[in-house]
Chain A
Amino acid sequence: MSITRRVFLRNSALAVVGTAAVPSFLARAAWGAAEPGTRTKRLVVIFQRGAADGLNIVVPYSEPQYYAMRPSINIPRKAVLDLDGFFGLHPSLAAFQPLWQQRQLAIVHAAGSPDPNRSHFDAQDFMESGTPGVKSTEDGWLNRSLHNLPQPLPKTAFQAIAMGPSIPRILSGVEPAIAMNNINDFSVGGRNPKPSPAATAFEAMYDHSSDTVLHGTGEETFDAVKMLKAADPSKYKPAPGADYPKGRFGDSMRQLAQLIKANLGVQVAFADIGGWDHHVNEGATEGQIANVLRDFSQSLAAFWTDLGDLGEDTVVVTMSEFGRTARENGNRGTDHGHANVMFVLGGPVKGGKVYGRWPGLDQSQLYEGRDLALTTDFRQVLGEGVARHLGNKNLSEVFPGYENQPGKFLRLLG
Chain B
Amino acid sequence: MRVGRTKSVCVRSAVSLLCFGLACVVPQLLAKKKDKDKDEAASSAADQRRALHAMNRLTFGPRPGDVQQVMAMGVDQWIDLQLHPGKIDDSALDSRLEPLRTLRMSAKEIAEDFPDGQEINQVMNGKKAMPSDPARRAVYQVQLARLQERKDRKEENKEKEAVKNAITAAIAEKNNNESSAKASTTTAANAASDAVNVTAENPAANGAATDTNGAMNSAATNPATDSGATSNDNSMAAVLPTKATPEDQEQARRREEQLYTDLEVQQLPSLPPDQRFKKILGMSTAAQVALADSLRGGKGQEVLTGLAPKQKETLLAMNNPAGVVTNELAQAKLLRAIYSQRQFEEVMTDFWSNHFNVFVDKGLDRLMLTSYERDVIRPHALGKFEDLLVATAKSPAMLFYLDNWLSVGPDSAKALGIPAHPGPYGYGRRYPPRPNPGKRRDGLNENYGRELLELHTLSVNGGYSQRDVTEVAKVFTGWTIEKPAQGGSYKFDPSMHEPGPKFVLGRRIKFKGEGEGLEVLHRLATSPQTAHFISLKIAERFVSDDPPPALVDRMAKTFLKKKGDIREVLNTLFHSPEFWDDETYRAKVKTPLEFVASAVRATGAEVDDALPLTRQLNNMGMPLYGAQPPTGYSMKAETWVSSSALLNRMNFALALTSGKIKGVKVDATQLAGSTPPQSDSALTLSTLEANLVAGGVSKQTHDSIAAQIEAAAKNGAERKPDNKAASRKPDSAALPPDASTIAGLLLGSPEFQRR
Contacts and interface: CB of A to CB of B under 8 A. Distances in A.
Contact of B708 (A118, A200, A330, A331): A200
SS of A interface (majority): loop
A221 B646 contact: yes
Nearest to B455: A121
B589 interface: yes
Interface in A146-190: 162, 164-167, 172, 178-182, 185-189
B450 A205 contact: no
Nearest to B437: A327
Contact of B648 (A117, A121, A185): A185
Interface string A210-221: 110111011011
Nearest to B469: A118
A197 B708 contact: yes
A185 B651 contact: yes
Contacts, number: 192
A280 B405 CA distance: 11
B741 A205 contact: no
B640 A335 contact: no
B221 interface: no
B647 A187 contact: yes
Nearest to A171: B642
A71 B439 contact: yes
B340 interface: no
Contact of B445 (A119, A185, A200, A329): A329
B460 A220 contact: no
A165 B642 contact: yes
A275 to B, nearest CB: 8
B642 A205 contact: no
Contacts of B622: 165
Interface string A269-293: 0000011010110000000000000
B514 interface: no
Contact of A188 (B438, B640, B641, B651): B651
Contacts of B488: none
Contact of B698 (A71, A186, A210): A210
A403 to B, nearest CB: 27
Nearest to A280: B403
B642 A217 contact: yes
28 contacts: A119-B450, A120-B629, A122-B460, A165-B645, A172-B638, A179-B644, A181-B619, A185-B648, A186-B644, A188-B647, A188-B654, A189-B654, A198-B654, A198-B708, A198-B741, A198-B748, A200-B711, A202-B650, A204-B703, A210-B698, A211-B750, A213-B637, A215-B750, A280-B403, A330-B407, A330-B408, A331-B407, A332-B441
A121 B454 CA distance: 10
A97 interface: no
A87 B707 CA distance: 66
A225 interface: yes
Interface string A325-354: 000011111011000000000000000000
Interface string B450-472: 10001100001000001001000
B753 interface: yes
A329 to B, nearest CB: 5
Contacts of B701: 205, 209
Contact of A205 (B415, B705, B744): B705
A201 B629 contact: no
B440 interface: yes
A49 interface: yes
A182 to B, nearest CB: 8
Contact of B631 (A120, A178, A208, A220): A120
Contact of B406 (A120, A198, A221, A331): A331
A68 B438 contact: yes
Given A71-B438, A181-B621, A201-B705, A210 B643 contact: no
A23 B48 CA distance: 54
A50 interface: yes
A375 interface: no
Contacts of A63: none
A304 B628 CA distance: 29
Interface string B394-421: 0000000001001110100001000000
Interface in A287-313: none
Contacts of A72: 441
A197 B724 contact: yes
Interface in B732-755: 737, 741, 744-745, 748-751, 753-754
Interface string B229-270: 000000000000000000000000000000000000000000
Interface in B77-104: none
Residue in A71, A210, A218, A225 whose Cβ sees the most chain B Cβ within 10 Å: A218
A171 to B, nearest CB: 10
Contacts of A188: 647, 650-651, 654
B447 A335 contact: yes
A49 B701 CA distance: 39
Q: Most B CB atoms within 10 A — which of A180, A217, A218, A330?
A: A330
Nearest to A187: B647
B749 A205 contact: yes
A201 to B, nearest CB: 4
A181 B638 CA distance: 16
B142 interface: no
Nearest to B448: A279
